Structures are given as C-alpha cells and as structure tokens.
C-alpha cells in the first residue's frame, strides 16, 4: 500500500495527453437513434431519479464535494444525468425500437452505478458486506432473468445497495430471457472486489496480471451479451464458444478497457484510485504519465488491428447462419468500442465540453 500511496502522490501535477481515439476505427461515424433525446428525457433521467440514492459516495465519484444534507439535492442527480449514458445506448440501438433503446439505456447506466459501489462507494473497503452482497446479487439476477431462484431478501442492506439491484426490476420486464446474458451477469457480479485490490499483495502487478484481472472484472462482457437483444437475434452458448467469436470479444474487451482507463485517468487520480492501466505501465516501465499514455495508445492500436484481422477471417470462413451471427457481432462489437469512445467525448463523466480540441485531443493535468 505504501507504493500505491507514493504513486498517487507522484501523479499530482503531472501532465498527460489523450490522443484522438476516434482514429482507432477511422471509417466509423456515430449514428444515433432518432428518438435519443426523448429516451433520455422521458425514460433514462426519470429512472435515475427513481432508483439511485444520491449520497456523498456518488458525489465523490463525480468529484462534487458536498455536505451530507446538500448531497441529496438534485445537484448530484444532475451530475449523473450529465454523464448522459443514453448516448452510448443510442449508438448501439440506432436501428432498434424506442422501447429497446429505453431498456438498453437503463441497462448501460446500471453498470456504472453498480460498479461504482465497489470502486468509490460504500463497498470500496468493506469485504464482509461485499461477499454477502455478491451472493445476493447473483440470486437476484437468477430470478429476474431466468426465474431460476427466489427473489432474495434485500432488507439487510442499505437503501443505496437495495436500489442498485431493484432498479433492474424495471429493466428485466423488457429483456428477453437468455441464459447467455445470465451467465455473463453472474461472471461479472462474481468478479468484483474492493477498490485497488490488485495491489493488496504489496507487490507491483505486471501489465499481464492487470489484464487478467481487468478482463475478468469489467462489465464489457455483459454488454456484449446484449447484442442479441438489440438486434432481435437468438444465439446459443455454442455460438459464443466459436473460436473467432472468442477472439472478437477479447479484442473488444481490450479496446474498451484501454480507452476507458485512458479517459478515466484524471477522474480516478483525483480520488486516489490507481487500478488503471496507465499507472500500472508507469510502475512497470518507470515512465511519466504522458509517456505511459502513449504506450497505452499503442496497445489500443494493436488491438484495433487484431480486431480487423479477426473480422476478415470471420467473413472469409463463416457461412449460412454462422455468417449472420458473425455480422451481427462484428457490427455490435465495433459499436460498443466506438460508442463508448463517442460517449466519453460527448458526455461529461470524464471531461467537460470544450476540453477536446478540433482533432479530439485533450491535454490535461493530474
């Protein structure tokens, strides 16, 4: 933990550059659902007000330092709404129905709310509650997605933790029952842990160790599992186990993780959270933040090339129904990567409007 604290201290005052991440897929351009604004205003934002307990912990997440009494005011609610998660869903659901867009927007918003409980919220340093909450969450998803378990008793948990699950009641009403999604959700929920737990052994983790943990704990795989719902196409576990599909998902996961860590570096450094690819590179290679950002971008470029190579192989070898599945996932995975890019630039979770220049480059201080 001493080395982690030294890293947190050393980051202060360093400068870094976020390069143009649209350049990873230069032929991609954003296409949003035509009723995106209506979905945001009539569905996502009211849902956020109904389901989230806006306390000090979420205020810290958005770097808003408020008193306990003030933290429950609409100010913090507005901060969460300004992140505009509906944009990400609108890219994924550009050709889907309005109802599908509303469901997916809530779905995507939930991942960030729930994950933040462990990263910077009430569970960030509470291993005992984490264990119980993870078990209860798994039982909850078994019930709402596939009715494989009874609805669990949530009363032992705080209102904040209860709301983080109950908000799925409304989502699940509109989600087709799919074991593929349930399996992805169980893997995701099972993997979460205390904040910065990768440093708990007292050693500096290698980049490979970081990748193993990051891929296991990220919400990208459940997001990938939403693709059949978005495109109204049934798939099986056999489809997901195809070698090329696994490679496509792996490159998608890497691209999502890398750019998310690059975008979130300033926000996380501000609250002393360093379980991020850029600080890991700094520690392993003895680099400054600006240099580590360049290395991270090189990793992203390499993954983008790998993504394109897998796409070429899939289109050359897949036939019949497999070709249809391949095309849906190629489009869906590319939209996940670039939809996240577009949302990260246009929303206000990481940077304010106007911080990016005309070339989508952002210069910032930690």
pLDDT digits (tens, 9 = 90+) for 36-68: 999 999 999 988 887 765 444 444 444 443 334
- Spatial separation of the C-alpha atoms in residues 77 and 79, rounded to whole Å: 5
Q: State phi, psi for 355 to the nearest 5 degrees.
A: -75, -30
- Give the residue numbers spanning the domain of 28: 2-365
Contact 189, 242 (CB under 8 A): no
Burial of 294: CB neighbours in 10 Å, binned 0-12, 13-18, 19+: middle
CATH of the domain at 162: 1.10.600.10
Confidence of residue 1 (pLDDT cuts 50, 70, 90): low
DSSP H or E stretch at residue 15:
strand 15-18
As beta bridge partners, residue 364 has 16
Beta-carbon contacts of 133 under 8 Å, excluding residues fewer than 6 positions away, are 123, 157, 161
pLDDT at 21 over 80: yes
Structurally, the chain folds into a number of domains equal to 1
Contact 55, 262 (CB under 8 A): no
| Tens digit of each residue's pLDDT (9 = 90 or more) over 187-212 | 888 877 654 455 656 677 888 888 88
Nearest to 176 by CA among 222, 234, 102, 91: 234
- Spatial separation of the C-alpha atoms in residues 92 and 94, rounded to whole Å: 6
Contact 213, 118 (CB under 8 A): no
Q: Return the pLDDT at 55.
A: 45
- Spatial separation of the C-alpha atoms in residues 128 and 209, rounded to whole Å: 25
- Spatial separation of the C-alpha atoms in residues 283 and 286, rounded to whole Å: 5
């Amino acid at each position: 933990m001493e080395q982690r604290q030294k890293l947190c201290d050393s980051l202060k005052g360093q400068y870094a550059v976020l390069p143009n991440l649209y350049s990873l897929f230069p032929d991609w351009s954003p296409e949003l659902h035509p009723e995106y604004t209506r979905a945001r205003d009539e569905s996502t934002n009211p849902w956020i007000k109904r389901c989230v307990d806006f306390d000090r912990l979420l205020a810290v997440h958005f770097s808003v330092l408020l008193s306990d009494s003030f933290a429950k005011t609409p100010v913090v609610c507005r901060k969460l709404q300004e992140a505009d998660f509906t944009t990400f869903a609108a890219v994924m659901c550009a050709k889907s129905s309005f109802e599908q867009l509303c469901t997916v927007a809530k779905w995507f918003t939930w991942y960030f709310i729930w994950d933040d409980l462990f990263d910077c919220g009430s569970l960030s340093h509470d291993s005992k509650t984490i264990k119980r909450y993870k078990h209860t969450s798994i039982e909850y998803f078994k019930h709402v997605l596939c009715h494989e378990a009874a609805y669990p008793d949530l009363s032992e948990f705080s209102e904040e933790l209860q709301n983080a699950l109950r908000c799925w009641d409304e989502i699940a009403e509109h989600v087709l029952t799919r074991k593929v999604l349930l399996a992805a959700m169980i893997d995701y929920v099972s993997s979460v842990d205390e904040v910065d737990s990768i440093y708990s052994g007292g050693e500096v983790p290698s980049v490979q160790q970081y990748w193993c943990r990051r891929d296991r704990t990220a919400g990208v795989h459940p997001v990938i599992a939403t693709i059949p719902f978005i495109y109204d196409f049934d798939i099986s576990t056999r489809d997901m186990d195809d070698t090329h599909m696994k490679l496509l998902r792996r490159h998608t996961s890497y691209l999502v993780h890398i750019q998310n860590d690059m975008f979130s570096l300033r926000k996380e450094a501000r609250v002393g959270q360093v379980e991020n690819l850029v600080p890991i590179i700094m520690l392993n290679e003895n680099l400054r933040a600006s240099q580590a950002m360049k290395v991270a971008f090189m990793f992203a470029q390499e993954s983008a090339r790998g993504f394109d190579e897998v796409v070429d192989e899939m289109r050359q070898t897949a036939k019949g129904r497999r070709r249809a599945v391949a095309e849906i996932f190629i489009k869906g995975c590319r939209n996940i990567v670039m939809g996240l890019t577009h949302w990260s630039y246009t929303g206000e979770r990481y940077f304010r409007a106007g911080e990016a220049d005309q070339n989508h480059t952002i210069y910032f201080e930690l």
